Each structure stands twice: as structure tokens, then as C-alpha cells.
Structure 1
């Protein structure tokens, strides 16, 4: 009995909570971050500055992909339009109508677009930030919402200036100075230079780092997991988020194992593992559609390489994945069932065994998916 109590105390120390009940409550909050926390991002600015392309890029889509926000120089968003993330449905990008248009006057813009529905605003410009952008920023500040300035189409400016013999660093500094000069009455706030067609260039990672710092924990995790994999740093952030969440799923597994219902623990463990690894698979960009787009872009057979992973192929076939883990967890399930017949300490032993088994399996499989995703980045030559 002492050994089992020691094991239970070790679990509580790992979680930082004083009691099993408090630990379970904390666990439910952690699991909820992966499943149910909604993040609503508003993308706004004048017409024709690249808002829709930015929305598509954040969702990991090209402008020509099915489900992409329509793009063009003419304003396409006549009403706030929600575009759910294609694989993380709890993350929504909102393409807002251009401020200052005939239907959306700057003076009433915040009310008209229902500002209270969004977690933060991205104010987009392509050439320079104008008076309407600054007016919008001031109105957002009054409503106690966060906003960030994004200067898009930076690659075009760099290319045009290179034709004149101007180096990229000089062009970027010129653009930054121009943006800061236009926004000087606001502080000036930081400005992030990006190109929606190649997120690994310029300041997109700095934008993400800033958002992570500013967002509450639950919203931050939703953001990190939804972003397309555009760099090794981005992938590492996703990996750490999933790795940190493993203990929460394992604790849930342990709590379920204490219930005296035959077969319940095994069925729930399999369902949780399948769900967790499927989220990881999509977040790491290992699904066929994402890899096909990447293969086309870099002209390399990346999809074929990924299909060499038995785990990736099992996730592609959901029934195969469930069978795989049902067989793997079966022996531990039998032992858990036997433990419950032991008076007093049996349920604790079952909880510890279920926790340990689920944690081990998830850490091992997340590591495997991370290894595959790193090989994808190396093959695509993305740093």
C-alpha cells in the first residue's frame, strides 16, 4: 500500500497539485485547451492590401485552394466573413471589410463589425499605414482590445529595389522607418513585415512570438497548434505544446481507470490517444493535402517519404490506428482490471498503471511524429 501511495504522491508532485481531485480539475482544463478553446482573429485594413491572402496564409492555404478566402484588388468582404481553420476548427480567421469603404465608415467601423467577437486585431497595409489605420487603432484601444500592424507584400518591394541595386537589408529598413514615421502618433507600435506567400521570410516569426507573449495560455496554445509549419522553430513550439499536454491526457486516463466498469478504461484510453495523435498529425502538417502543397512548392517527393512511417499511415486510416493501440494497451488493461479486485489500494494501482502506460505511449508516438515532421522540413530545406 505504501508503494502505491508513493506513486500517487509522485503524480501529484509532477502536476503541482495537492490532491487527486484538484489534479483532475487542472487536467480537464489542460485537455480543454486542445479541444474547445476558441480563438477568433480579426484581419482588417483598407481594400486591396492583402487581407484575404494573409487569412489564407495563416490557415496554411494558397489563394487558389478550395475553401480559401477570395482575393483581388477589389474588396471581396462586404460583411465580416469567418474562415475556420481547415484542421483546427476552434481557430477562426475573420476577413473584415475594408475600413473607410462606402458601407463601413471609419467612425462606426468597430460597432459595425461587432468588435467584441474577436480576441485581437491584425491591421494590414501594403504600401503605408494611413490615417484610417491609425483611427482604427485608436478605436480598438478604446475598446480595450489588442492590435498588431502587419505590412504585407514585402517581397514585392524587395524584388523591385533589388532591380535598382538596393540590398534587401536597406529596403527592409526603409520600409520600417516609413511605417514607424506614419504611426509615430501611436507610440510608435511594432510593425511586422511579411509576405503571405512565404511565411518563413521576414518578420512572421516575430509576430508569432509577440502574440504568444500577449495571449493567455489557453489562447496561445490554440494559436501555436493552428499555424502552418514554416520553420524548425515553429515545429519545435508545436512539439513542446503537445509534449506538455501529454501528462494531462495521462492523468485523465488514470482517473478513468479507477472506475469499476469492465473495458471502460481501455476504450477511453484508445479514444484519447487516437484523438491526441490525430491533432498532432494535422498540427505538424503531415496530412496528405498539406504535404501535396509543400511537395509542389519545393518540387520534391515529400509525400512519398512521409508514407514510409507506419504511424503516419495508421493515422491516415483511423480504424487502423484504433486497432493498433487497442492491441498495444490490451495487456495493461487486463492488469488494471485485476488491480481493482484488490481492496483499498487496487484503484490507486490501476490509476498509476493507466497513467504510466498512456504517458509512455503518447510521448513515444509524439516523438515519432516530430521526427517525421523534422525530416519533412529538412527535405523541403526550410530552416
Structure 2
């Protein structure tokens, strides 16, 4: 009884609420937001601007991956096409038809692509923004949604310019930015973000994320943070901190202090929540096979081989699931052995369900391992010269 009282106290304390009932309700809400808050991103622009490549990059895919949006020099998107994030089905990225037609009508276009579906629009161009881009932005503005001008294929511009004498990358970027911003002044003074869908860590993709974070409603920000590619050490640390802050909720939802009092709640049922938590970390940190393959090809280092050094990443690689509705048998196969090996003396108590304190310990250790792996991979890839390898407090 004393151990149960202690676990209840720790659960309530972690939630910041005054009673267990309130803590349970908050835990359910927090965990539901982790898994289910929708985010719909619309990518539009002229044919050839790289819409499909950006859609793929935001999903951690290369253009030639099996599930990638088709790309080409001609228009490949004739109607709005939805692509789920591979590890987060609540995040959807939409590849919209091109807007290069001479007879383009912004209001009709927005009606045809079902304007209300999307949380915001990315208006993409690989050259100067043209009249159709401006018309579309003004129409979106009238309908009180956000849009963002993004200048793509910056890596191509830099490659072309660096052959010239006196090449200065920062000067070239400034000139491109100034030229683009001059062309969109009819919409006010919007910022133009420079990106490369191949080199996500360079240029303004992280700046775009920070802007989106400020503009989105609070409840949508967690979905953005989870799904956005890791473009900097700071972004990775923000993701790690976010998951650290959710450990108490996942522990309370899945632990022995049952949120829903189901007699005989099994370790398999509990472990399903644990698996879902780890799978979200796995994709959010860019540790999945496709994200690592893309990064490996870019830096010419076999980073996927490094994953075998981590027990939990190896288990997720073999048994990774992209939806919360995993079966009990898969949950046990992916996590139970790892959980029991971490917790001394758990023994037969596991059959009755993991306690709040034990589940919290498991999640903290697992998150530490995933975070350490993600940091070390970025360091191996030469993306971060200084890598914080400290454990979570």
C-alpha cells in the first residue's frame, strides 16, 4: 500500500495537478496531443519549382524512395495529393497542382484544392516569384490563413555562382533574397526563406520552422516539432526536451496506476504505449532507416550501420510501427525484453502491469539512449562540431 501511495504521489506531482483524477485527465490530453493532433501542410508553386522534392524532404525521403512523391521536369501533380509522414500519421503534407497556367485564377484554384483542408501554405519558386504567386498569396491572405514564400534549389544557384571569380556565398544569398523580397512587396513585406531540399541543414529551413512555430496555434506546435526534419543541433535538443516533458504523461497512461481501471491490465497493453512513445522519438530524431539512408548518401558515411550499437534503435528498426494501434504481441516483441532487462528485480510483477515509477524509469532510459544515438550520428556526419552528450536529469 505504501508503494502504491508513493507512486500516486509521484504521478500527481509530475503532472502539476492537485489530485490523481486531474492528473489522469491531463495525462490523457497530453498523450492524445502527442499522437493525434492533425497538421496539414500545403506545398504549391509553379511547375518545376521542386514541390514534390520538398514534400519528400519534409517526410525524410529521397525522391527515388518507394513511397516518395513523384518528381519530374513536367507537371506530375494534377490534383491535391496527400502524403502522410512515415512515422506520424497525424501529419499530412499535400502536394498541390502547379500554378503556372496563363489563365490561373487564385480564388478558383483555392476552391478546387479545398482551401479549408490546410493549416498553412508554402508557396515555392525556384526563380523569381511571379504574378500568379502574388495573386495566390493575396487570396490566401483574404481568407485569413498564413502563407510563406520559399525560394527553392538554392544549392543549384550556389553551384553555378561559385565557378565565378570573387565568389562570395553570403553575398549571393543576400542578392537572391533581396531580389525575391522585392518581387513580393505587393503582399506587404513578407520574408522569403531560402532552402535546398537536398541540403536541409543549410540556409533557412530551420528559420522557417521557427517562424511556423510562432504562427501556429499552441496545440499544433507539437506536431510540427515532431515531424519537421532535424536541421540543427538546437532543433534536436528542442525535440529531446519536448519528449522529456511528456515522460510523466506516458508513464501515467501506461503504468500501473491505471487511467482506465481494466482488471488484469497486462504488460503487453502497457507496453503498447511505451512502444508508441519510442517510435515517435525514433522518427522525430531522424533515426529511421530512410532518414539515415538519405543522410548517409549525402555525407558518404554508412550511418545506418551505427544503429546496431543501440538496443532500442535496433529493436525499433526491426519492429517499428507507425500507428498507435499496434498489437500486443508486437508490443511485447519490440519492448518487453528490453524493459525487463533494464529494471532489476521486476520479475513476476511485470505480469500485473508496469508501475508508474518503473515505466517512468524505462521511458527515461530509452529516451536517453535514443537522444545519445541521434547526437552521435549528427557528430559522425560532421553536422555538429560540439555535441551535448549529457543524460537527462
Q: Secondary structure at the match of 2:273?
A: helix
Match of 1:261 in 2: 263
- Give runs of aligned pairs for residues 6-17 of structure 1, distance below 5 A: 8-9=8-9, 11-17=11-17
Structure 1 unmatched runs, 5+: 339-349
State the match for 2:113 in structure 1. Answer: 113
2:340: which partner in 1? 327
Could you tell me how far apart the structure 2 residues matched to 1:49 and 1:29 are? Answer: 40
Uncovered stretches (5+) of structure 2, i.e. residues with no partner: 320-329, 385-393
Change (3 A) 1:196 1:374: same
The equivalent residue for 2:387 is: none
- The residue number in structure 2 matching 1:344 is none
Q: Which residue of 2 aligns with 1:207?
A: 208
Deviation of 1:337 after TM superposition, in Å, equals 8.9
CA separation in 2, counterparts of 1:103 and 1:66? 34
Structure 2 CA distance for partners of 1:337 and 1:274, relative to 1, 3 Å:
closer
Question: Which residue is equivalent to 1:341?
Answer: none
For the 8 Å contact 1:50–1:124, the answer to whether it is kept is yes
Give distance in 2, aligned partners of 1:6 and 1:224. Answer: 34
Shift, 1:123, TM fit: 0.7
Give the corresponding residue for 1:285. Answer: 286
Would the alpha carbon gap of residues 67 and 317 (structure 1) be closer, same or farther in structure 2, given more than 3 Å must change? closer
Residue 42 of structure 2 aligns to a residue whose secondary structure is strand
Q: Is the 2:57–2:197 contact (alpha carbons within 8 Å) kept by the matching residues of 1?
A: yes
**Aligned equivalents of 2:259 and 2:29: distance in 1?**
19
Partner of 1:196: 197
CA distance in 2, matches of 1:103, 1:28: 50
Partner of 1:136: 136
Q: Does 1:146 align with 2:159?
A: no
Q: How far off is 1:354 after superposition?
A: 1.7
RMSD: 2.6
Q: Which stretch has the larger CA shift, 275-284 or 8-17?
A: 8-17
Contact preservation (8 Å) 1:50, 1:152 = yes
- In 2, distance between residues paired with 1:85 and 1:337? 35
Q: Is the 8 A contact 1:312 1:369 kept in 2?
A: yes
Shift of 1:234: 2.5
TM-score (norm. length: structure 1): 0.88
- Cα distance in 1 for partners of 2:85, 2:259 equals 34
Indicate the structure with greater helix content. Answer: 1
What is residue 311 of structure 1 aligned with on the other side? Answer: 312
Conserved? CA contact 2:206–2:231, under 8 Å: no
Q: For residue 62 of structure 1, what is the aligned residue in structure 2? A: 62
Q: How does 1:117-266 map to 2 (within 5 A)?
A: 117-164=117-164, 165-252=166-253, 253-256=255-258, 259=261, 261-262=263-264, 264=265, 266=267
Who is 1:343 aligned against? none
Match of residue 363 from structure 1: 364
> Given that residues 225 and 283 in structure 1 are in contact (C-alpha distance below 8 angstroms), is that contact kept between their aligned partners in structure 2?
yes
Q: Is the 8 A contact 1:300 1:380 kept in 2?
A: yes
Which residue of 2 is the match for residue 342 of structure 1?
none
Deviation at residue 121 of structure 1 after TM alignment = 0.5
Change (3 A) 1:8 1:178: same
Instruction: Provide TM-score, normalisation by structure 2.
Output: 0.86
Report the Cα distance in structure 2 between the residues aligned to 1:260 and 1:120, rounded to whole angstroms. 41
Give the conservation status (yes or no) of the 8 Å contact 2:43–2:123: yes
Q: Is the 8 A contact 2:60 2:286 kept in 1?
A: no
Q: Which structure 2 residues correspond to residues 329-348 of structure 1 after superposition, within 5 A?
A: 332=346
